[in-house]
Amino acid sequence: LRSAEVFGAAAVIATARHAAPETGALAKTASGALERQPYLRVTNLARAMEELKDLGYTLLGLDGTAEEAIGARLGATSGPVALVLGAEGPGLREKTRQTCDALVKIPFQRDFGSLNVSNAAAVALYACTQSKKPTI
């Protein structure tokens, strides 16, 4: 939530069953962003993603095994972008992957594992700000 607020995302959308509930612990971790950043919890993520597509968003799923770098795709995309991130470890669920318009990766300088979801979100959100794309 904090990165979404800092980098100007319009909202954070999460699943109702698998995302952090709005508790004091979440508010503390978000350092005030919970009060400023819309945090929407949905029961059907695929449906919410389709609704974003209907609104003109391009859905980019972050996946370390993707062929295309996020910067290249952002440069070729017009209109607003919705970043889609999976859980740490298993990543994006298959239905979620299929609903994305494209899968993109954050290119690394060294061959060393991956970033945690929070850090990956911050890097991807920063890339969106550099490309001047409105983001969810």
Whether 42 maps to a domain, the answer reads yes
Residues linked to residue 91 through DSSP beta bridges, in sequence order: 87
Range of the domain at 31: 2-130
Whether 135 maps to a domain, the answer reads no
Looking up residue 13, the CATH number of its domain turns out to be 3.40.1280.10
Length of the chain: 136
pLDDT per residue rounded down to tens, the chain (136 residues): 778 888 888 888 888 776 555 555 544 454 455 566 678 889 999 999 999 999 999 999 999 889 999 999 999 999 999 999 988 778 899 999 999 999 999 999 888 777 888 899 999 999 999 988 777 7
Whether 31 maps to a domain, the answer reads yes
Whether 8 maps to a domain, the answer reads yes
Let me know: does 125 contact 83? Beta carbons within 8 Å: yes
What's the pTM value of the predicted model, to 2 decimals? Answer: 0.84
Q: Give me the amino acid identity at 89.
A: G
Whether 136 maps to a domain, the answer reads no
Q: Which of 136, 41, 124 lies closest to 79, judged by CA?
A: 136
- Other residues' Cβ atoms within 10 Å of the Cβ of residue 66: 18
- Other residues' Cβ atoms within 10 Å of the Cβ of residue 21: 9
Whether 108 maps to a domain, the answer reads yes
In total, how many domains does the chain have? Answer: 1
